[in-house]
A and B are shown apart, each in its own frame.
Chain A
């Protein structure tokens, strides 16, 4: 039975006129609607053209007998799940077995018990409805109602088979579309708004696909395979061109913010396309390659869709291998920390060090942080690495203190750590394990990380500050952030990005910017560190403009912990002695 209360439509196929009349009359009286035909071929045509709730088939019919008809129904995709009941006077074991082998749902022997027939059909319909719901749950995404990854895999396989059978250059295109903004929306506004945003994204994506369907070619299907990832599957003679056009329409459609309850969100998609047969001839390969292309689009911040290529695949595999090696390195604690000193410009004294991650792999050699840190971010390894860094930094601080060096240590945290971890708890645990006062710890976060997920970062920074840590904005000036951001944050320090320091010493735009930052920071009570100081001229300019602190190769390169100790322990003791005497 359906939920709408409409009379379920029953297809009756029986060449015996009296049987037809009785079946039709009985079902009509019992609240069913019927369509009766006298032969198997007419029954199949009817089944293909209308939506029946159930089919009642006689076995002995001209043109197409009941068994053949049942098999034909089961092989037609749109009729695969239609309940089929065989009604026949052949009630021997062989006939019953043949009926079920042909795919019959149930078997009723003649003479029919007319009282029982409607009850039996209702029971079959209830089971069919339960099956339909189970299939829907198994093959659809509950949030958007779209087909899920399992349904998509089956669909892609079927489309590839059809394209191959059709020949004539027909191909299949998979367009994987990701919308990372939804993850950020979820972390800032909570899961309900995050879900709303995903539903709104799905609705707009569907409307674009439907509009393109209307303009050209056969129907394209949309599925949500997980999280923020959607896939459009289409089969066409011009699959490449159509996928390109679709991706352009999608990009244009999402140029406009998407209304979502009380909010308007800009949900910019990243898209990757894989084609069959060019990029793979099975569903798994095609899905993998579309994902790799989308991932690449995301990495290079492409505005349009990226087509898969072997180069993208190779780079993807390389990255995976590197990720695996990094995972092993994290597990085996093969990462190490180097420390770059930071001095007070007025007197040259050490005010702290910044902990910098280094990875020396036996096979790969030294792997640049520029290469492995983004990978750690993407893979989520940054969370484990972040915990290890805070513990290692605190242990190092304790060792230095035991050896007579008192200083502070800065650790870098990423937006992902604020979104998926509890940095305050992480630092508290690490500091406590090494009996370090959190006041000796400076937390650095880049300006771009800050604005990528402002609310969760701000909340995390407040918690970290409450422990007593100092907070510094790293790479300041590169993240296009508004000064309004700074007002709402518990900040102590700005670190001016090295790109502004490079040209100091000669008057110019960079010098003007540095002057402005120094002035603004002084006004709101923040200390300023210049990063990337490499020349005396730069240091002189900074001193002349009352910049507080400096860090860079001119002062010292990053070095292992024991070298910091060798270089600064005596000086630290001397500084303290001077202070005591004074």
Chain B
């Protein structure tokens, strides 16, 4: 359980996002390889909130579209959207680190 706290929020969020988003994308890509549409949808659902919370709008949009494609059982679109996931995540993580560096400077 966590009690309400203050301070260092952005650092903690950035660290958590870097770790969990990598894990979630690995899981999504594994599910894509297995063509497990339900697992893709579930993982996307979890990742899209985190991406939206940290302001990674590009990644969030892509994940939302991926979730919709999985729900629509559009395998071809799923594969296309999954391709760019790692790049989108890396962009988001970089942006977060840049923002952190700017704030601490």
CB atoms of B4 and A33 under 8 A apart:
yes
Q: Is A226 an interface residue (CB 8 A)?
A: no
The CA-CA distance from A25 to B60 in the complex, in Å, is 22
* A17 is an interface residue with CB less than 8 A from chain B: yes
Against A, the Cβ 8 Å flags (1 = close, 0 = not) of B41-85 are 010011011101110000010000000000000000000000000
Q: Give the docked Cα–Cα distance between A46 and B2 (Å).
A: 12
Min CB distance A20 to B, Å, is 6
Determine the residue in chain A with the shortest Cβ distance to B14. A18
- Cα distance A15–B5 in the bound complex, in angstroms: 18
Q: Which residue of B lies closest to A111 (CB)?
A: B52
B9 near A21: Cβ-Cβ < 8 Å: yes
* B63 CB, min distance to chain A CBs, angstroms: 10
Contact, CB under 8 Å: B4 / A27:
yes
Asked whether B20 is an interface residue with its Cβ less than 8 Å from the other chain, the reply is yes
Chain B residues with CB under 8 Å of A33's CB are 3-4
Q: Is B13 an interface residue (CB 8 A)?
A: yes
**Given A16-B50, A18-B13, A19-B49, are A35 and B1 neighbors across the interface (CB < 8 Å)?**
yes
B53, A36: Cβ atoms closer than 8 Å: no
Contact assessment for A36 and B1 in the assembled complex, using a CB-CB cutoff below 8 Å: yes
Q: What is the chain B residue whose CB lies nearest that of A9?
A: B4
Q: Contact size class for A? A: 20 to 34
Mask for A370-408, Cβ within 8 A of B = 1, else 0? Answer: 000000000000000000000000000000000000000
A110 touches B52 (CB 8 A): yes
| Contact residues in B for A110 (Cβ distance below 8 Å) | 49, 52
- Residues of chain A contacted by B46 (CB below 8 angstroms): 15-16, 60
**A residues less than 8 Å from B12 (CB atoms):** 21
The reply on A37 being an interface residue by CB < 8 A is yes
The residues of B that contact A35 with a CB separation of less than 8 Å are 1-3
Q: Which residue of B lies closest to A42 (CB)?
A: B1
CA A221 to CA B53, docked complex, whole Å: 49
Cβ-based interface call for A22 (8 A) = yes
A18 to B5 Cα, complex, angstroms: 14
A34 within 8 A of B: yes
Contact of A20 among B2, B6, B60 (CB under 8 A): B2
The contact string, 1 if C-beta is below 8 Å from chain A, for chain B 1-32, is: 11111100100110011001000000000000
A283 at the interface (CB under 8 A from B): no
In the complex, whether A89 has a CB less than 8 A from a CB of chain B is: yes
Residues of A within 8 A of B54 (CB): 18
Per-residue 0/1 for A21-45: is the Cβ within 8 Å of any B Cβ (1 yes, 0 no)?
1101101110011111100001000
Best-buried of B17, B46, B49 by chain A (most CB within 10 Å): B49
Give, as a whole number of angstroms, the nearest-CB distance from A98 to chain B: 15
Among B5, B42, B50, B52, contact of A28 (Cβ-Cβ < 8 Å): B5
CA of A42 to CA of B45, assembled, Å:
22
Note all chain A residues with C-beta closer than 8 A to B60: 111
CA distance A67 to B49 in the complex (A): 19
Closest partner residue, chain A, to B2 (CB atom): A36
Contact indicator A16/B6 (Cβ below 8 Å): no
Expressed in whole angstroms, the Cα–Cα distance for A512 and B102 within the complex equals 113
With A21-B9, A21-B12, A25-B6 as contacts: A16 and B49 at CB distance below 8 Å: yes
Tier of interface size on chain B: 20 to 34
Question: Which A residues are in CB contact (< 8 Å) with B50?
Answer: 16, 18-19
Asked if A19 and B1 make an inter-chain contact with CB atoms under 8 angstroms apart, the answer reads: no
Cα-based distance from A28 to B46 in the complex (angstroms): 24
Q: Which of B4, B9, B12, B46 has the most chain A CB atoms closer than 10 A to its own CB?
A: B4
Query: Are A24 and B5 also in contact (CB < 8 A) when A17-B16, A18-B17 are?
Result: yes
**CB within 8 Å of B: which A400-449 residues:** none
List the B residue with the shortest CB-CB distance to A33. B4
**Cα A25 to Cα B3 with chains together (Å):** 10
Interface hub of A28, A32, A35, A89 (most chain B Cβ within 10 A): A89
Given the complex of chains A and B, what is the CA–CA distance between A59 and B43 in angstroms? 14
Do A18 and B2 touch (CB < 8 A)? no
Given contacts A46-B1, A60-B42, 10 further A-B contacts (CB under 8 A): A15-B46, A18-B17, A18-B20, A24-B5, A29-B6, A33-B3, A33-B4, A34-B2, A60-B45, A90-B45
Partner of B16, one of A18, A27, A32, A112: A18
**Complex Cα spacing A19 to B46, Å:** 10
Question: Please, which residue of chain A has its CB at the minimum distance from the CB of B9?
Answer: A25
CA distance A32 to B4 in the complex (A): 9
B5 in complex: contacting residue of A25, A60, A111, CB < 8 Å: A25
- In the complex, what residue of chain A is closest to B7 when comparing beta carbons? A25
Q: How far is the CA of A33 from the CA of B1 in the complex (A)?
A: 13
Give min CB distance, A286 to chain B, whole Å: 44
Indicate which residue in A18, A34, A60 contacts B3 across the interface (CB closer than 8 Å): A34
* 30 A-B interface contacts by CB (under 8 A): A15-B46, A16-B49, A16-B50, A17-B16, A17-B20, A18-B17, A18-B49, A20-B2, A21-B13, A22-B13, A22-B53, A24-B2, A24-B4, A25-B6, A33-B3, A34-B2, A35-B2, A35-B3, A36-B2, A37-B1, A42-B1, A60-B42, A60-B46, A89-B45, A89-B48, A89-B49, A110-B49, A110-B52, A111-B49, A111-B60
Q: Is B1 in contact with A21, judged by CB distance below 8 angstroms?
A: no
Partner of A34, one of B4, B20, B45: B4
Given A16-B50, A60-B45, are A21 and B6 also a contact pair (CB < 8 Å)? no
Q: Which 10 pairs across A and B sit closest by C-beta, in order of nearness? A: A111-B52, A28-B4, A34-B4, A36-B2, A18-B50, A24-B4, A18-B53, A110-B49, A25-B9, A89-B49
The residues of A that contact B6 with a CB separation of less than 8 Å are: 25, 28-29
Q: Bound state CA distance, A33 and B54, in angstroms? A: 23
Select from chain A the residue with minimum beta-carbon distance to B55. Answer: A111
